[in-house]
Amino acid sequence: MPAALQTRALAKRYGPIEALRGVELEVGEGELVGLLGPNGAGKSTLVKIAVGLVRASGGETTVCGAPAGSRVARASLGYLAELFRFPGWYSADEVLRLHQRLAGSHGGEAERAELLGLVGLLDARDRTVDAMSKGMQQRLGIAQALVGSPRLLLLDEPTSALDPAGRRTVRRLLEELRARGVAVLLNSHLLSEVELVCDRVVILSGGSVVAAGTPDELSRARGVEIETATGLREFPDATREDAPRIVAELVAAGERIYEVRVRRTTLEETYLRAVGEEAT
Amino acid sequence: MRGLGVVVGYALRESLRRRVFAIVLVLTAVFLGLYALGTDRAFQEVADFERDPVLQAVDERTLAGATLLGLAMFGTLFLGAVLAVFLTHAVVRGDAERGLLQPLVVRPLGRTTLLAARFLAAAAVCAAYAAGLFAATAGITYWAGAWWPDRFWLPAAELAAAVVVICMLSLLGSVFLSATANGIAVFMLVGAGIVGGLLGQIGDALDSETLVDVAQKASWALPFEALYQDALHSISSKSFGLTGEILRLGPFGGAQPAGGALAPWVAGYLAAAGALAALFFARKDL
């Protein structure tokens, strides 16, 4: 089965500016991949190329095996733009009905009710977009992206307007989608969110992939801390595997051990190191 | 085709919900009210012609009716242009900048279908409006002075086609220009076309070939003007004698008939402008 999203040597140039420089990226079936990077790194451009809003200058992009932008590719994906708006006089239910018809979905009222329930808007199904808060509109946008049960979901900053409760709703939704086998490319500035839910993380900087891997792979050992009766003992060069030996040596030396912590870099530290100069 | 119908329905609903539509309806009501009042008064005034030995040879009802309906047709074209521009000036770039376009474009229906649907919806609303307003003003003219234009269906169709051409120009402009810039540009084009037509009428009255030639070229380059001129001509095309001469010297009487080439030219013009819009929209980064 082809990857849900695959880019090969993807390049995009806006006049003299190189927005993407040979990006290689793959999102497997049912995989949840986080796309990170500073402003201007090329994240939104990459997503827009995948959904057919922007034409690539070079390279290749496929969605479920079909060329990005083709009718087949567009029928396979759901998309939430960073900046989007629905007509203000449409109710939540009408927005979804419109997109069902455009997507050729036969899910009917049952699908609309399910999607509104997933994003916590079932009680607001008859409320017009104009009468919704920004956060509610964003959740409606996510529901719209899920119309027609797409195999690939591309979310560009889906939680930027959400409060903590709304973010948790979206996190649960992403986990639910993963369980259903939907592939997700999540473009977000919120590293903690990406770290919590994503199977893999890709960091873009200056139009190139500067780091990629699972959150575990991207974080590295930063020593072991042991709290003893005589105070905190630090072993900065030790790894997780060294911890039992160190504890045994301390106990043998008569120390009382209260807590052992294996320290690792956070995704934020890895990110800042990867994007380096631009972040500073 | 299913996608086309969905977007036509969406765009029709959007057109009728826009505030500008309500404003145009209010302006139309005011315009029709004033037109009824003015027409009624004008026909009462020209009734005195019968007592004037010089003007006795003039068919006063035809003179007043054709002149007033010509004025109403100018108003119809102007209001139709306002509606056409406001329904289409933001279809591509304006809607993309507001984030309304992206959720629709990524759906499988395709950009050309989306553009065609938006055009069809706006054209349907504007054509119905222009033809309806012409019929209403013709009806008021008949009510006030028992005068009916020499031809009815042709000018109604031509006015409708004129605003459809403006819709297409505005749609094409929306691919390249922001909403405000496009609105201004299309209104300037409409103004330029109307001024070109007036120049032609002045040239006709002064027997200036150069002015008439320039006006004709301008009206074919902007065929809404050629359609408007032909429509104006057709409402009094059967007038003759002194009445006919006075009408031709009047503000709306110097209009030139366009001939049989106008309809195919307009059809080709619309097709070419539509194809250009589709071509550039297909290549546009959003």
Over residues B75-79, the mean pLDDT reads 93
Contact residues, chain B, for A141 at CB < 8 Å? 103
**pLDDT number for residue A68:** 93
Q: Exposed/middle/buried for B251, CB within 10 Å: 0-12, 13-18, 19+?
A: exposed
With beta carbons under 8 A apart, name residues in chain B contacting A79.
Answer: 102-103, 106
Identify which of B10, B17, B106 has the shortest CB distance to residue A74.
Answer: B106
Any chain A CB within 8 A of the CB of B285? yes
**Ranked by mean pLDDT, which of A225-239, B100-114, B261-275 comes out on top?**
B261-275
Q: Which residues of A touch B106 (CB under 8 A)?
A: 51-53, 74, 77, 79
pLDDT of residue A280: 43
**Residue A53 in contact with partner chain B when CB distance is under 8 A:** yes
SS3 A157: coil
CA distances from A237 to A195, A226, A228, A255, A271 (A): 25, 13, 19, 21, 22
- B197 band by pLDDT with thresholds 50, 70 and 90: confident
Mean pLDDT of chain B: 88
- Quote the minimal CA–CA distance from A104 to chain B in Å: 9
B108 inside 8 A of chain A by CB: yes
Nearest to B108 among A55, A89, A103 (CB): A103
Does B286 contact A102 at a Cβ distance shorter than 8 Å?
no
Q: Average pLDDT, stretch A16-34?
A: 92
Domain boundaries, chain B: 2-282
Statement: residue A236 has pLDDT above 90: no
pLDDT the model gives residue A77: 94
Q: What is the pLDDT of residue B92?
A: 94
> Measured on CA atoms in the order A170, A174, A175, A180, is the torsion positive or negative?
positive
CB–CB contact A51 B109 (8 Å): no
pLDDT at B22 over 90: no
Q: Which two tokens stand for residue B26?
A: 């209010």
- By the 8 A CB rule, do A7 and A58 touch? no
Instruction: Look at residue B171 in the predicted model and tell me its pLDDT.
Output: 96
Nearest-angstrom CA–CA distance, B7 and B100: 13
**Interface with B, mutate which of A98, A144, A155 (most B CBs under 10 A):** A98
Which tens digit of pLDDT belongs to each residue from B142-193?
999 999 998 999 999 999 999 999 999 999 999 999 999 999 999 999 999 9
Whether the per-residue pLDDT at B48 is higher than 80: the answer is no
pLDDT of B31 reads 93
HSE at residue B200, side-chain half, CA atoms within 13 A, is 27
- The strands making up A77-80's β-sheet, listed across from edge to edge, are A77-80, A152-156, A183-187, A32-36, A200-205, A208-213
The mean per-residue pLDDT over the stretch B59-81 comes to 89
Residue indicated by tokens 């938006």: B118
Amino acid at A197: V
pTM reported for the whole predicted model? 0.84
Residue B258, pLDDT score? 76
Task: Answer yes or no: is pLDDT of B282 > 90.
Answer: yes
Closest CA–CA distance from residue A217 to any residue of chain B (Å) = 34
Residue, of A11 and B21, whose pLDDT is higher: A11
Among A53, A55, A89, the residue with its CB nearest the CB of B283 is A55
Of A53, A77, A98, the CB nearest to B102: A53
* pLDDT of amino acid A221: 72
Q: What is the per-residue pLDDT across A191-233, written as a single tens digit (0 to 9) for each?
A: 878 888 899 999 999 899 998 888 888 877 778 999 999 899 9
Q: Do A141 and B285 touch (CB under 8 A)?
A: no
**Chain B residue with Cα closest to A51:** B106
Q: Which residues, 6+ apart, have CB-to-CB distance to A109 below 8 Å?
A: none
- Per-residue confidence at B24, pLDDT binned at 50, 70, 90? confident
The tokens for A251 are: 């106990």
Whether the pLDDT of residue B273 is over 80: the answer is yes
- The SS3 call for residue A32 is strand
Mean pLDDT of all residues in B263-267: 95
Residue A116 has pLDDT above 90, yes or no: yes
- Considering only CB atoms, which chain B residues are within 8 Å of A86? 100, 103
- Assigned token pair, B18: 């826009």
B72 pLDDT above the threshold of 90:
yes
Query: What residues of chain B, 13 to 42, have a C-beta less than 8 Å from chain A?
Result: 14, 17
More confident residue, A275 or B240: A275
pLDDT at B54 over 70: no
pLDDT for residue A269: 81
Q: In the prediction, which pLDDT does B246 show?
A: 67
Q: Label residue A229 exposed, middle or buried (CB < 10 Å: 0-12, 13-18, 19+).
A: exposed
Residues 6+ apart with CB under 8 A from A135: A161, A162, A163, A166
Decide if pLDDT at B268 tops 60: yes
B248 exposed, middle or buried (CB, 10 Å; 0-12, 13-18, 19+)?
A: middle
DSSP assignment of B190-255 equals: HHHHHHHHHHHHHHHHHT-HHHHHHHHHHHHHSHHHHHHHHHHHHHTTT--HHHHHHHHHSTTT-P
| Domain boundaries, given as residue ranges, for chain A | 5-215, 221-264
| Interface contact A104-B108, CB threshold 8 A | yes
Nearest-angstrom CA–CA distance, A196 and A204: 19
Least confident window among A79-83, A84-88, A177-181, B133-137: A177-181
Q: Rounded distance, CA A242 to CA A254, Å?
A: 19
What's chain A's length in residues? 280
Residue that has been written with the tokens 């003893």 in this structure: A228
Q: What is the structure's pLDDT at A118?
A: 87
Predicted confidence (pLDDT) per residue in A139-173, tens digit: 999 999 999 999 999 999 888 778 888 888 888 88
- Give the span between the Cα atoms of B137 and B159, in whole angstroms: 13
Most confident range, picked from A23-37, A255-269, B19-33: A23-37
A53 pLDDT tier (thresholds 50, 70, 90): very high
Residues of chain A contacting residue B17, judged by C-beta atoms under 8 Å apart? 87, 89
Best of A77, A94, A102, A149 to disrupt the B interface (most B CBs within 10 Å) is A102
- State the pLDDT at residue A59: 94
- Residue type at position B21: F
Most confident region among A169-183, B239-253, B263-277 by mean pLDDT: B263-277
Decide if pLDDT at A99 tops 60.
yes
- CB contacts of A53 in chain B (<8 Å) are 102, 105-106, 285-286
What is the H or E stretch that residue B275 is in?
Answer: helix B262-282
pLDDT > 90? residue A271: no
Residue of chain B with shortest Cα separation from A69: B106
**pLDDT band of B247, cuts 50, 70, 90:** low
With a cut of 50, say whether residue A279 has pLDDT above it: no
List chain B residues with CB under 8 Å of A99: 103, 107
- The CATH classification number of A5-215 equals 3.40.50.300
ipTM here: 0.80
B54 touches A: beta carbon within 8 Å: no
Angstrom distance (rounded) from CA A29 to CA A152: 8
- Alpha-carbon gap: B142 to the closest alpha carbon of chain A (Å): 41
What residues 100-129 of chain A have any CB closer than 8 A to a CB of chain B?
101-104
In this prediction, residue B205 carries a pLDDT of: 76
Residue range B110-136, pLDDT digits in tens: 899 999 999 999 999 999 999 999 999
B110–A71 C-beta distance less than 8 A: yes
Q: What is the pLDDT of residue A263?
A: 84
